[in-house]
């Protein structure tokens, strides 16, 4: 079992910077509010366009339900748009029809997608009825890569610390794959199937631990006393495949938002530590701040796009900015960013002429001996 973590008492192994945080709120409602507002702020700060969409990873389960309700309300209040947001869901049961009331397709449609302005072609959920499940998983990873990777992955956890369907023992290097569900998960999820264990699917498709960790930022919501042990193992314990969320200790931009009940198994000093750094950050004006590295990357990308837009506009050619999404159109055709032409030159043109050695002269660009005698043919012996 791998163990990479220093004990928290020796300098907070898990949160080495303020961008890896544990935020404690009173209850599920206030924890959900924090998460939803954080996501709204991240998407708005990113200012997504058709050519530069925001890629969001999403979970199902009871934990994110209130988050989705707040996102829907914020959309109605026009505080957020999902027009240029691409989503990838974490998982889906195998063999459950997508229209089944307990499928994750149905869950996402009911709780989020049917209430917001997301383009249905931007929604990605694994197909648990695909004829070839292995290819479905490979194609999902490829689609994430094609979208440019996940900017922010939102998640919840099971009481055994699993993230998505990466249950105890899952490889921390795992990618999207077919997964047989553990008895504990079947038991925990039977509440959605009328407490009938027999009705809970035995298999699922799930993103892997490494798929989650590859996101630029991971935000996890954990509420309730029944998840307190998992939170303790994931934060105070070592990185360990038996508590797969503990792998988040290795992530540079991780945020775990919990309610008071979820902290029951944590050491008092752990809770005090994170509450105190949140207090200090707030004092310094960092509250809800986008991690600086992400903010810097976004600013750089926006500057590059503005430069490219100005360059293309200055060339004329019927080029104009498409006001709707900020993308560039040339004679009605959307343009990709153009790398300026490289104008090749000869290496020699960059080197200044060497001095002409004594006794020599330059004639038609060539060096020759300067006296008549030397220009005579050299006799052969």
Ligand X SMILES: N[C@@H]1[C@@H](O)[C@H](O)[C@@H](COP(=O)(O)O)O[C@@H]1O
Nearer to ligand X, 185 or 240 (CB): 185
Catalytic residue among 84, 91, 151, 241: 91
What's the closest the beta carbon of residue 222 comes to ligand X, in angstroms? Answer: 9
Among 150, 164, 228, 230, indicate the residue that binds ligand X (CB under 6 A): 164
Q: Are 152 and 193 in contact (CB under 8 A)?
A: no
The sign of the CA dihedral 39, 40, 41, 42 is: positive
326 binds ligand X (CB under 6 A): no
Nearer to ligand X, 61 or 326 (CB): 61
Q: Which stretch binds ligand X (CB under 6 A): 156-164, 207-215, 233-241, 369-377?
A: 156-164
Q: Is 160 among the catalytic positions?
A: yes
Q: Which stretch binds ligand X (CB under 6 A): 54-62, 114-122, 338-346, 367-375?
A: 54-62
Nearer to ligand X, 53 or 61 (CB): 61
- Cα gap 75→163, rounded to integer Å: 27
Q: Are 200 and 190 in contact (CB under 8 A)?
A: yes
Nearer to ligand X, 205 or 290 (CB): 205
257 binds ligand X (CB under 6 A): no
- Cα gap 350→346, rounded to integer Å: 7
x/- map, 60-79, ligand X, by CB under 6 A: xxxx----------------
Q: Is 127 among the catalytic positions?
A: no
218 binds ligand X (CB under 6 A): no
Q: Are 259 and 223 in contact (CB under 8 A)?
A: yes
- Cα gap 179→58, rounded to integer Å: 18
Residue 89's Cβ-count burial label (10 Å; 0-12, 13-18, 19+) is buried
Catalytic residue among 167, 217, 236, 261: 167
Structure tokens at 258: 């919990």
185 binds ligand X (CB under 6 A): yes
90 binds ligand X (CB under 6 A): yes
Residue 55, phi then psi, degrees to nearest 5: -105, 120
- Cα gap 330→334, rounded to integer Å: 6
For 300, left (φ over 0), alpha (ψ -120 to 50), or beta?
A: alpha
154 binds ligand X (CB under 6 A): no
- Cα gap 82→55, rounded to integer Å: 10
Q: Is 304 among the catalytic positions?
A: no
Nearer to ligand X, 212 or 239 (CB): 212
91 binds ligand X (CB under 6 A): yes
Q: Is 91 among the catalytic positions?
A: yes
Catalytic residue among 162, 241, 251, 253: 162
CA 135 to chain CA centroid, nearest Å: 23
Contact residues toward ligand X (CB under 6 A) are 59-63, 90-91, 156-158, 164-165, 185, 189
Active site residues: 91, 160, 162, 167
């Amino acid at each position: 079992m791998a163990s990479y973590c220093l004990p928290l008492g020796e300098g907070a192994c898990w949160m080495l910077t303020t961008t890896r945080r544990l935020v404690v709120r009173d209850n599920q409602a206030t924890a959900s509010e924090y998460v939803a507002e954080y996501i709204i702020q991240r998407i708005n700060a990113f200012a997504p366009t058709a050519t530069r969409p925001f890629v969001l990873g999403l979970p199902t389960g009871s934990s994110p339900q209130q988050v989705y309700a707040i996102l829907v309300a914020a959309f109605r209040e026009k505080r957020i748009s999902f027009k240029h947001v691409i989503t990838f869901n974490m998982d889906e049961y195998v063999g459950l029809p997508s229209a089944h009331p307990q499928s994750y397709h149905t869950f996402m449609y009911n709780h989020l997608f049917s209430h917001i302005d997301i383009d249905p072609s931007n929604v990605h959920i694994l197909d648990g009825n695909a004829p070839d499940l292995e290819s479905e998983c490979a194609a999902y990873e490829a689609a994430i890569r094609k979208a440019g990777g996940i900017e922010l992955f939102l998640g919840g956890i099971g009481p055994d610390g699993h993230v998505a369907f990466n249950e105890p023992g899952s490889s921390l290097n795992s990618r999207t794959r077919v997964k047989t569900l553990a008895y504990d998960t079947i038991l925990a999820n039977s509440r959605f199937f009328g407490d009938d264990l027999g009705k809970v699917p035995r298999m699922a498709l799930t993103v892997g631990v490494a798929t989650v960790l590859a996101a630029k930022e991971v935000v996890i919501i954990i509420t309730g006393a029944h998840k307190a042990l998992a939170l303790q193992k994931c934060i105070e314990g070592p990185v360990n495949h038996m508590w797969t969320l503990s792998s988040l200790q290795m992530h540079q931009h991780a945020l775990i938002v919990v309610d008071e009940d979820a902290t029951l198994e944590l050491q008092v000093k752990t809770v005090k530590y994170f509450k105190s750094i949140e207090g200090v950050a707030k004092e310094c004006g960092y509250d809800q701040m986008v991690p600086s590295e992400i903010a810097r990357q976004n600013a750089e990308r926006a500057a590059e796009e503005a430069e490219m837009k100005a360059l293309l506009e200055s060339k004329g050619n019927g080029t104009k900015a498409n006001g709707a999404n900020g993308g560039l159109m040339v004679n009605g055709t959307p343009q990709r960013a153009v790398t300026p032409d490289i104008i090749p030159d000869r290496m020699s043109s960059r080197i200044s002429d060497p001095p002409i050695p004594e006794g020599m002269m330059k004639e038609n660009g060539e060096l020759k001996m300067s006296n008549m005698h030397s220009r005579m043919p050299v006799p052969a012996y």
